[in-house]
Structure 1
Amino acid sequence: MNKFKIFSVALLASVTVSQAQDLNQAKKAIDAEQFDSAKSILKSIINTKPSNGKAAFLLGNVYLTQNVSDSAKIYFQKGLSGTEGAKLNYIGLGQLDLDNGNVVAAQANFALASKDVKKKDVEEYIYIAKAYMAANKPDYKSALSVLSRAKINNPQDGQVLLELGNAFYGDKNQNEAYVAYRDAFQADPTLIRAKMQLGVLLKGAKAYTEAVKAYDNVIATNANYGPVYRELAETYYLWGRNEPSKSKEYLQKALNYYEKYMSLTDYSLASRMRHADFLILAGDYKALEIEANKMKELDKVNPRILRYLGFAAYENGNADVAIQSLESFIATPTNKVLAVDYQYLGFAKIKKSIGADGKTIDPVLFNKGILDVKKAVEMEITITNNLADLGKSLYEQKLFKEASAIYEIAVTNKESRNYLLDNFYLGNSLYYDNTRKDVVKPDPIALQKADIAFGNVIEASPATQDAYIFRARTNRLLEKDDMMVKYYEDYIKVVTEKGPEELEKKAVKAKVIESYNNSAASYANTNKAKAIEYFSKTLALDPTNEYATKSLQTLK
């Protein structure tokens, strides 16, 4: 019996040590973003010892990272009934409370998790802080408060310092973040993420050359650390956007580094989704369509795949698949629908509404598309930044009425980066739509909108000369001669101030002549001398101008 007892104790000790080693392997896999591997290790531990509360907590956290909250909740609740590490699961439930906007319930769960924590213990504080930072609405101030207590308990703990760096970074305190990351790596040189985060700080400061050097230092330490290649991908993507002359070269580097990241982590559905998100960011919709179809093979029922299929189908010219995919995605009540989903659905309907001849329009389908775009903007005003290309495409097809419908939505956001140009094209679209050959009588309401749009351009950029000429033309259609003359005269003033070289341009000269002739015609009934002056100025520029010549003869 004694031998049996000794053997049992030895076996128990062996299993405990083995599980501790497996937990450490799981933590390393999580840090390396090898989430499928981590899940496999943790599920194995739970199967061997269902009472391992810490394994359940870590597994629940992995599911939270992958946005699978239902599975996360199951493991957190299961982990509460365990033994070692069971209290950690209150933290997981607390994060779910934060995600649902219930801060009071979250704090109650965090209090249960940290109750009776020993003086030197910091693990609970670390995970509570991480929960605050990983919530749908991150609370970096609360995370810093929790981590400050942990640092008092153990000032040289590398994990505490690493998370302090993350909290400071999230709170936009770059200097303190740098110190914390540096100290974390010095305290524990195995924390390669802390070393990598020094490069992330440089990326955030747009110091891309230095950021890449920092990542190269990480690779020199561990060439198989996957996350550093993701950071390289994101850095080169941003670098390319900030340096247009190298955008194509850097975008290709970014895509290559992301593939490297995938090869060192896993090709799970969650990883493929993250890859898909990056492909959208990079605008590589051909690759996105390939990735979306691979995801569909892995999980035919995952609704998020429909989003990727919809985006890719629209960008690759297949409006039908885009509409079908996105309508199915939006119609599922449990899906978290984003503004961009409605944007793409609206774009796809608008594209489909245009006939093969590029001229005929299905007005019902077009208006449905416009409603979807409006819905997108109501959800997220910055969607207006994405409307310029579609509006310009319709404008160039001479679908001026349809283009104006897009631009009217775009100019609702005065903070849009395209605000000036969107107003200009809105005004032009409305003007040209009212000068079509088949127009019997111009629409005064539409022309008043055009007048306001040109006014917005002039207010934002007084030197934009064509805004004056089109505003004058618009007021001519509105039969407001006084305002027409004012804006023609403003046009002449602006181009004259730009110097002789501007006036010598053929297109500008033609518009100056237009300004003189139309202004003179208006003055002919009220100010004969002014009319003669302007017609004379026309002839000084173009001695053969027939209209000015005959008008002068009549006036004299």
Structure 2
Amino acid sequence: MKNFKVLSMAFMASVSVMQAQDVNEAKKAIDAEQYDKAKLNLKSIVKSDDSNGEAFFLLGNVYLFQNVADSAKISYDKGLNAKKDGYLNNIGLGQLLLDKGDLAGANAKFELAKKEMRRKDFQEYVYIARANMNSTNPNYKNALAVLELAKEKNDQEPQVQLAFGDAFYGDKNQNEAYRAYRNAYQGDNTLIRAKMQLGVLLKGAKAYTEAVAAYDDVIAINPSYGPVYRELAETYYLWGSNQPAKYDENIKKALDYYEKYMSMTDYSLASRMRHADFLILAKDYKALEVEANKMKQLDKVNPRILRYLGYAAYENGNTDSAITSLNSFINDSSNKIIAQDYMYLGLAKVKKATKADDSLDLPVFNEAIGFIKKAVDMEPTLTSEIGDLGKKLYEQKLFKEASEVFEIATSNKESKNYLLDNFYLGNSIYFDNTKSGAVKDTVALQKADVAFGNVIQASPATQDVYVYRARTQSLLENDELMIKYYQQYIDIVTQRGPEELAKSTVKGKLVEAYNTMAAGYANSDKAKALEYFNKTLAIDPGNAYATQSINSLK
């Protein structure tokens, strides 16, 4: 019997060591972003022994990395009952509360975990700090405060230093992040993520050449470390976006590296969704459509797939499919709608509303404008993306509809296209009011005047805007302002010298300015009127309107 007890204890010790090894393997898989591999490992542990609380906790974390909060909660709840380290699951439940914005509730859960800590324990503080960082409502300052407690226990521990690096990085303190990552890697040169993060800091500083060199150093040490290829993909994407001359070359590299990242991690639904998000950034919509259909085979009911199908269908010219997919996604109240969802649906409906003869189905177009407005209300930076739509309508001579788009585009003064979109807004309204059969819209013309004023304020040397503003004031029958803006045009082109005045387009606008100004003076100041008509004849001696008007005034 005594021998049996000894053997039993040896067996249990052996099981414990094996489980510890398995948990460590799961941690390595999580760090390598091989989430399906980690999940299988952890599920195996908790199935064979439900007393391992850390395994339940880590499994819950994997579910959160894969955006499956319900499964994460189930794992954490089960883990609370584990005999060993069950209290760690309070940290996971705390992160779920942080995700819901319940800071007090989250802190209460974290305190429950802290109460179970022994005198030299520090890992719990690292887990709590990461819960603060990984939450959908991240709080990096709270993470830093918790890590100070871990530092008191073991300030040289590489995992503590790595967590400090991530917290400082999230808090936009690049110098301290660099020190922490460097210290982490020096403390444990197998901690490859710390070395990789040094490259991430360079990426953030737009030092792309240096960042790529840093990633190459990581690959030289461990070519099987998947996350470094994701970082390379993101770096080349940013490099291409910031240097348009090399955009195509760098985007191709970005897509190739992301494919390599996928091949070295996993092809789970969650990974495919991250890939799809990257394909949207890289504007590779053919590949996005392929990826979306593969996801559909994996999970036919996941609503987020409809988003990807909708985006891809629009970009690939399948308007009806885009509208169907996006309507289904947006109309499901359980889905978290983002601004791009409304924008794509709006753009798809504009395409649907445009007929072969360049006329519009107005009810569908008005629906589209409503969705585009919703998108911009949620994300004002999207204003810079709709100018091309306005220009297309403008070129189709759909001036009223173009003005509606440009009015949305100019609602954000920070837009990179703010000046040009204002110019188009003013012109769209002006031409809509001068087309055949138009009924003058005074309110709209006043908006045009404001738009032209915005252009002048931002770029006073833009000479043609004064002509259009003068024309607008002429429609508004305000001769005083009409004369003022024509005169400003005359002053600008005159200052630019004989070469500018000799241009045929400028001559034509000067004739327009002098004749219109003269007509404005005709009833109040004949001498001024004659002066300006004569200036017309100096440029265009055969101008019939000026000649007839002079004869009438005499």
Q: 1:125 to 1:519 in 2, by over 3 A?
A: same
1:356 deviation in Å? 2.2
Q: Tell me what 1:395 maps to.
A: 394
1:249 corresponds to: 249
User: CA 1:187/1:499 → structure 2, altered by over 3 Å: closer, same or farther?
Assistant: farther
Map 1:347-366 to 2 at 5 A. 347-357=347-357, 359-366=358-365
Q: Report the Cα distance in structure 1 between the residues aligned to 2:453 and 2:514, rounded to whole angstroms.
A: 21
Identify which range, 372-381 or 314-323, moves more after superposition: 372-381
| Residue matched to 2:431 | 432
1:124 CA displacement? 0.6
Of 3-12 and 201-210, the range deviating more from structure 2: 3-12
Deviation at 1:343? 1.3
Identify unmatched segments of 5+ residues in structure 2. Answer: none
What is the distance in 2 between the residues matched to 1:256 and 1:506? 52
Query: 2:169: which partner in 1?
Result: 169
Partners of 1:51 and 1:252 lie apart in 2 by 48
Partner of 2:512: 514
The two structures, once aligned, show a CA RMSD in angstroms of 1.4
CA, structure 1 residues 106+548, in 2 after alignment: closer, same or farther (shift >3 Å)? same
1:122-160 deviation per Cα after TM superposition (whole angstroms, max 9, x unaligned)? 111111111111111211110000011111110111111
Equivalent residue for 1:479? 477
* CA distance, structure 1, for counterparts of residue 454 and residue 15 of structure 2: 74
Match of 2:119 in 1: 119
Residue correspondence of structure 1 range 442-457 to structure 2 within 5 A: 442-457=440-455
CA distance in 2, matches of 1:27, 1:316: 41
CA distance, structure 2, for counterparts of residue 192 and residue 145 of structure 1 = 25
Counterpart Cα distance in 2 of 1:178 and 1:432: 57
Percent identity of paired positions between Structure 1 and Structure 2: 66
Q: Deviations over 1:179-232 (max 9, x none)?
A: 001000001111111101111111111111111111111111111111111111
How many residue pairs were aligned? 554
Q: For residue 87 of structure 1, give the secondary structure of its aligned residue in structure 2.
A: helix
Who is 1:292 aligned against? Answer: 292
Distance 2:102 2:237 in 1: 37
| Structure 1, 286-295 or 517-526: larger mean CA deviation | 517-526
Q: Distance in 1 between matches of 2:74 and 2:186?
A: 38
| Residue number in structure 1 paired with 2:302 | 302
Q: Which range is displaced more, 79-88 or 5-14? A: 5-14
TM-score (norm: length of structure 1):
0.97
Tell me by how many angstroms 1:405 deviates: 1.1
Matches within 5 A, 1:58-457: 58-357=58-357, 359-439=358-438, 441-457=439-455
**Superposed displacement of residue 170, structure 1:** 0.8
2-structure distance, mates of 1:496, 1:40: 78
The 1-side partners of 2:203 and 2:121 are apart by 34
Bigger shift: 545-554 or 240-249? 545-554
- SS of structure 2 residue aligned to 1:225: coil
| Separation of aligned partners in 1, 2:498 and 2:7 | 102
In the superposition, the TM-score normalised over structure 2's length comes to 0.97
Distance 1:534 1:420 in 2: 32
Alpha-carbon distance in structure 2 between the residues aligned to 1:356 and 1:3 = 90
1:461 aligns with 2:459: yes
* Displacement of 1:71: 0.7
The amino acid of 2:253's aligned partner reads: K
Q: Distance in 2 between matches of 1:546 and 1:49?
A: 100
Which of residues 533, 541, 547 is equivalent to 1:549? 547
1:46 lines up with 2:46 in the alignment: yes
The alpha carbon displacement at 1:555 in A equals: 3.4
Instruction: Kindly provide the amino acid, as one letter, of the partner of residue 547 in structure 2.
Output: T
2:498 — aligned with what? 500
Of 475-484 and 495-504, more deviation after overlay is shown by 495-504
Runs of at least 5 residues in structure 1 that lack an aligned partner in the other structure: none
User: How many angstroms does 1:501 deviate by?
Assistant: 3.1
The amino acid of 1:228's aligned partner reads V
Q: Note the C-alpha offset of 1:542.
A: 2.6
Q: Structure 2 vs 1, CA of residues 102 and 489 (structure 1 numbering), >3 Å: closer, same or farther?
A: same
More off after superposition, 386-395 vs 424-433: 386-395
Contact 2:87 2:116 (C-alpha < 8 Å) held by counterparts: no
